[in-house]
Structure 1
């Protein structure tokens, strides 16, 4: 199994709750939930039992119906059926693919109250939401969302831990990497952008170094998502499919704000609201909202009618872009990697930064203003992050972040933003394909440091 930062979150849950709350690990399909939880159960407990409800027998399922009021008998028969002995307070029971059997999720309330074991559930958000009707969702449940691998996790999977540590140290000290290490990190980051962070695609790339094989894996995942849309999308199936299909073209636009009229000339935001929510809730997309009056509480002034919609995994976005072809060959990916193919890299670059921010726990916000009468008010800021600011005694300020896919660019919007919002603004950042440089409160970081912000 690859190193996942979420493993530490599982450890914290175990140490802090002492069996008084179950843990529900949610996330997109194929993001590695089951693998992570099984590894944790194996390493951190003297005994564990995994009940995979995608293949559990009727005998096992019947226990959840017949012994809801008799927990002692439930555990006696469960251990007898499975042949697993579970020592008290040093065992964990995993309900894998719990969305396939909602009765088990509802039973969590009694099991946690009993107190003899720990409980972890896994399931994809799509079908978890679909299969909660008719049951009482337990309040004794903590949720944790698992994202695709971020760049640091990709480096660990690739055996590049020393480079990862060097990048971390460079960021902490605000000192650029030596040129040779910078070039190596840049190359690996571009590979990561093309491969993405889904565990199966990363594994396929590490084993084969063949982008064509990786593309096949990514297309299988996209097909799985489309099938889920058809199965769980209810009355919004066509709208959800339409939004997903147009994400690459929307991100290819200069402003990148989602233009509903591109879906349908008569499209209205209220008609498509459920489609965008569905994709975001399923962790297939990530939505960034425009903020009208930026301050530390960004949600307070966000404009829900003005937004960008990113793919949660950039590798999947790239395969989605070439969906018209039955297969994307290794050579095409290689040309993108080497910069030999003319393609709008801005869409990929901004998407991969959004992916890193989500993995780091940030909600996505941006600032976009058009003023035809006063151009000094016209500006585009790709992302806004609340961050501590040294010149304000460590208090929180808004850090505007600009993302650049080329080495030649202007940064006028950052200057305008600071002039307009003054003391609300903290450190300003530019993420670009160049080494680090620091100029007062303006810090230019290489793209491969996005996940450290």
Structure 2
């Protein structure tokens, strides 16, 4: 019989995200602009903005531009801010007050004119706190979208760090010790426990839903099932947003990440993706994966001198998966490989 698994999309106990501090700083900036919170799918952008609104404002006007065609149509007219604010107030069911209400426009990549409207919020109505979230904003730049350059503040949200993971699973004391002392300052008697916690993080990763599954069930199979669902969602996104001409090459690069990182080579090897492969065959596919947020491209430095960017060699680079848990799922890594005898669940 198939085991029914609870989905933890809305699970967030002790979700102490470091980005919350940055959001609070943005709120109080004298020269504040509309905010774009970007990041890969499933990194917790929606929850973070809702929680920010709940904690720091009198009210929250939340609008999902993917779910509501009516909300998208609000931006089909002119860019008159009073008209837009009034319409968003009706759509969200919240009376919007400048300085007291956080306006959240979720999935903003689905409404290019909403992205353009941020320019007019910045120029004509800076009194409003407007925060947006989206997963494919860098990709939108490739498609002729009028991006409000210089009129927005940008913030990126990555998967949960090791310290955030420790806070979430009830190991706040360990997290605090690492924050204060660093790894070198930890009592040697605790090194075994710290190593085991790190091994757990390397398997679970930092995707909030995977962390939620781990906290609730302590079942590594259930965690891996979450990873598989996220990977399936990524693949569907690739099919939806990427040009058909590069889709196969994107998948080859994406699915080949574990093999690339396992090699001793100091740079990405195109021939390992496909025999005879060259840079020109995969450059666009790699750029799309990076813009989507699925991979980080890290270039080699030709010399260890400051600033490192002056010695960056763009021809020699490595690709790293956005999340270590997803990387393990791509590699079909079994829990016993990382956890050994100390495996729980």
TM-score bin, normalised by smaller chain: 0.7 to 0.9
TM-align CA RMSD:
2.2
User: In the alignment, which of 8, 11, 16 is matched to residue 29 of structure 2?
Assistant: 16
Listed as ranges, the gaps of 5+ residues in structure 1 are: 323-327, 342-453
Matched residue, 1:337: 339
Q: Distance in 2 between matches of 1:242 and 1:236?
A: 10
User: In the alignment, which of 48, 52, 62 is matched to residue 40 of structure 1?
Assistant: 52
Change (3 A) 1:119 1:304: same
User: In the alignment, which of 275, 280, 284 is matched to residue 270 of structure 1?
Assistant: 280
- Give, in angstroms, the shift of residue 96 of structure 1: 0.3
Q: Give the 3-state SS of the residue equivalent to 2:160 in structure 1.
A: coil
- Normalised to the residue count of structure 1, the TM-score between the two structures is 0.68
Matches for 1:230-379 after TM superposition, within 5 Å = 230-234=239-243, 235-255=245-265, 257-322=267-332, 332-334=334-336, 336-338=338-340
User: Rg larger in 1 or in 2?
Assistant: 1
Match status 1:202 vs 2:214: no
User: In the alignment, which of 94, 107, 122 is matched to residue 97 of structure 1?
Assistant: 107
- Give, in angstroms, the shift of residue 148 of structure 1: 0.5
Matched residue, 1:63: 74
User: How many correspondences in the alignment?
Assistant: 327
Tell me which moved more, 224-233 or 154-163: 224-233
- Give, in angstroms, the shift of residue 254 of structure 1: 2.4
Match status 1:25 vs 2:34: no
Change (3 A) 1:211 1:306: same
- Give, in angstroms, the shift of residue 294 of structure 1: 2.4
Contact 2:196 2:342 in 1 (8 A): no
Q: Give the 3-state SS of the residue equivalent to 1:338 in structure 2.
A: helix
The CA deviation string for residues 350-405 of structure 1, in whole angstroms up to 9 with x for no partner, is: xxxxxxxxxxxxxxxxxxxxxxxxxxxxxxxxxxxxxxxxxxxxxxxxxxxxxxxx
- Give, in angstroms, the shift of residue 137 of structure 1: 1.3
Q: Give the 3-state SS of the residue equivalent to 1:257 in structure 2.
A: coil
Match status 1:120 vs 2:131: yes
The CA deviation string for residues 320-343 of structure 1, in whole angstroms up to 9 with x for no partner, is: 111xxxxx8xxx4145301699xx
Q: Distance in 2 between matches of 1:269 and 1:82?
A: 47
Q: Distance in 2 between matches of 1:199 and 1:99?
A: 22
Q: Distance in 1 between matches of 2:313 and 2:142?
A: 30
Greater strand proportion: 1
- Give, in angstroms, the shift of residue 122 of structure 1: 0.2
Q: Distance in 2 between matches of 1:158 and 1:276?
A: 34
- Give, in angstroms, the shift of residue 309 of structure 1: 1.5
Match status 1:150 vs 2:161: yes
- Give, in angstroms, the shift of residue 146 of structure 1: 0.5
Matched residue, 1:226: 235
Tell me which moved more, 136-145 or 155-164: 136-145
User: In the alignment, which of 58, 61, 65 is matched to residue 49 of structure 1?
Assistant: 61
Matches for 1:387-426 after TM superposition, within 5 Å = none
The CA deviation string for residues 109-133 of structure 1, in whole angstroms up to 9 with x for no partner, is: 22232233110010003x6523774
The higher relative CO (CA closer than 8 Å, separation ≥ 6) is in 2
Listed as ranges, the gaps of 5+ residues in structure 2 are: 1-11
Q: Give the 3-state SS of the residue equivalent to 2:182 in structure 1.
A: helix
Contact 1:149 1:199 in 2 (8 A): yes
Matched residue, 1:401: none
